[in-house]
Structure 1
Amino acid sequence: MKESALQHLLTDGERHTFETTGLLVVEDALSPQQVAELTQATDRIYAARLASGGDPKAALFHPNFIPDDPLFQELVDYDRVLPKVWGILGWNIYLYHAHLIVTPPTGQAPDNKTFGWHQDSGRVNREIETHPRPRLSLKVAYFLSDVSMEGRGNFWVVPGSQLSDSLPMPPDGVGQPDGAVPVLVKAGSAVLFDRRLWHTASPNWSDVTRKVLFYGYGYRWIRTKDDMTVQSLWPNCDPIRKQLLGFGETCNGFYTPQDADVPLRVWLREHSPGEAE
């Protein structure tokens, strides 16, 4: 872990924003060069999908993309953003889910149909007996395309809804829930959001192809959400990235971790003791 991460710890204001709204926007998290290089890597994956017969108007949902390029691996423990993640969830975390999305223009005119609103994690929301539902995880969305205007396949949210177990929908499937807003951010922005936040994708009615990388962090005792084949990366990882890619010394170490299981905690003890509790 780079010591520069200490310059990007979660501030009290950021914590308040996240706790209140369920999301946090980090503008210019990626440099223009990073955006360009990550876009090239993403475009290669999308081109391969089209070459194999994919529909050029259909969105690409590509899970398990971390092994596809070293650039994607660099964001697993990215010093400008990971401190925000551990500031919210703590140090017993790993990347349990990752997916890349490319949303080309639909070529259709805008309409007012209700989008596909949901909370993440599927059965978790039915099978854990608490209210409000537990946070458990969050996602970081790195935007490689400019979605600062509505209609570009924007991610929509209802700020503050992470504490609500249900979300009333408009009648007849027309319009969006009360309080719904599109997330409007520039390329290079990172958006952290609570898995419980009611959110949805939307159609891309623009002429700009939307490209986003999603990194899902959760507690180490949570199972992976997709078939992540990251074990082959472990030999070339430093200890903290290895933790974040799912390594553990023993099965029990995911529940009762020792130092060898969680080098992130060891690093925090030395560099930011207050966050190693």
Structure 2
Amino acid sequence: MEQTCLQYALTEEERKAFDETGYLIMENVLSPEHVAALTAEVDRIFGEHVKAGHDPSKAMFHPNFIPDHELFLDLVDYEKVLPKVWGILGWNIYLYHAHMIVTPPSGQQPSDKTFGWHQDSGRMNVEMETEPRPRMSLKVAYFLSDLAEPGRGNFWIVPNSHLNNTMQRPEGGFGQLEGAIPVCVKPGTVVFFDRRLWHAASPNWSELTCKVLFYGYGYRWIRTKDDMTVQSLWSKSDPIRRQLLGAGTNCNGYYTPTDEDVPLREWLKEYAAAEVK
């Protein structure tokens, strides 16, 4: 990891915005060329799913895509993004979940039927005793499609909702949560969001196809959320990338890490003059 990444460190203004609203939007993080290259690989994978029997008119949820191409692997520790992730969560982190979503045009007319609103992490939200629940993890969404207008399969959020364990759902199944907004962004935009932020996917009522890559970062003692096969990438990765891909010296190292378990901590001490706990 190069020291040049430090120019993208989380600012105090960004920290304040993330803490208060539960999300952060960064434009032009990916260049048009980078977006085009990633899109080509997403299209290839979608085509393979269609050949295998996937209905091309239906949305594709494809987890564990990191091993599918070097371009996806390189985003795990992308210099414009990772510094903001460790700025929010700290150094004891790894990629616990990754999924690719492709949402083709639905061919349907717009409807105000209630979306599938949720907080991430499933049973964690049932079994945690505190209110608000702890942050635990965040997601980074790389948008490859032009979602500057609503109705294109946009990701919807309720700003400032991450500290609410429950939300009042509309009666009858029509209408969205109070304060809900679509995330309208251009290709190359990255959205960071707290796992507790109430959010939902939405139907694609446009003629465009929505393509988004989601990278979930959490603490190293959290189990993976999909059947990740990134272990095969450890041997060709540098120490920090290996940490982010879940490598460790032993099971206890995920709870009481040694320097070998968390090279990111040592890197921050040396190059970022960071005070680490």
Query: What is the CA distance between 1:15 and its match in structure 2?
Result: 0.5
The CA deviation string for residues 69-128 of structure 1, in whole angstroms up to 9 with x for no partner, is: 000000000000000000000000000000000000001110110100000000000111
CA displacement at 1:42 relative to structure 2 = 0.5
Structure 2 matches for 1:149-228, cutoff 5 A?
Answer: 149-228=149-228
Alignment of structure 1 residues 16-31 onto 2, 5 Å = 16-31=16-31
Moved runs in structure 1, 4+ residues, more than 2 A?
273-277
Structure 1 equivalent of residue 126 of structure 2: 126
Q: Which runs of 5+ in 1 are unaligned?
A: none
- Distance, in Å, in 2 between the alignment partners of 1:199 and 1:128 is 19
User: AA paired with 1:241?
Assistant: R
SS at match of 1:20: helix
Query: Displacement of 1:274 after TM fit?
Result: 2.2
- Counting only pairs closer than 5 Å after superposition, residues 1-277 of structure 1 correspond to structure 2 as 1-274=1-274, 276-277=276-277
Q: CA deviation at 1:54?
A: 1.1
Q: Distance in 2 between matches of 1:154 and 1:105?
A: 12
Q: Distance in 2 between matches of 1:173 and 1:180?
A: 15
Structure 2 length normalisation: TM-score? 0.99
Q: Distance in 1 between matches of 2:263 and 2:275?
A: 13
- Which amino acid counterpart does residue 12 of structure 1 have in structure 2? E
Amino acid of the structure 2 residue aligned with 1:108: Q
C-alpha separation in 2, matches of 1:275 and 1:20: 24
How far the C-alpha of 1:194 sits from its partner, in A, is 0.3
Q: Is the 8 A contact 1:97 1:216 kept in 2?
A: yes
Tell whether the 8 Å contact from 1:151 to 1:205 is kept in structure 2 after alignment.
yes
Q: Which amino acid aligns with 2:172?
A: D
Q: Distance in 1 between matches of 2:275 and 2:268?
A: 6
Inter-partner Cα distance in structure 1 for 2:3 and 2:253: 26
CA distance in 2, matches of 1:103, 1:273: 43
SS at match of 2:71: helix
- Aligned with 2:139: secondary structure? strand
Give the C-alpha shift of residue 51 in structure 1.
Answer: 1.0
Q: Which sections of structure 2, spanning at least 5 residues, go unmatched?
A: none
CA distance in 2: counterparts of 1:92 and 1:73, whole angstroms:
19
Question: What's the secondary structure of 2:141's corresponding residue?
Answer: strand
* TM superposition shift of 1:275: 5.0
Displacement, 1:276?
3.1
What is the alpha-carbon root mean square deviation over aligned residues?
A: 0.7
* Contact persistence 1:87–1:275 (CA under 8 A): no
Q: Give the Cα–Cα distance (whole angstroms) in 1 for the partners of residues 179 and 275 of structure 2.
A: 34
| Residue aligned with 1:162, SS | coil
Report SS of the residue matched to 1:38.
Answer: helix
Question: Would the aligned equivalents of 1:143 and 1:188 in 2 still touch at CA under 8 Å?
Answer: yes
Partner AA of 2:183 in structure 1: V
Q: Distance in 1 between matches of 2:185 and 2:16?
A: 20
1:16–1:54: structure 2 CA closer, same or farther, 3 Å change rule? same
Query: Partners in 2 of 1:16 and 1:275 — Cα distance?
Result: 19
The amino acid of 1:22's aligned partner reads G
* Cα deviation, residue 171, structure 1: 1.1
Measure, in 2, the Cα distance between the counterparts of 1:123 and 1:2.
Answer: 38
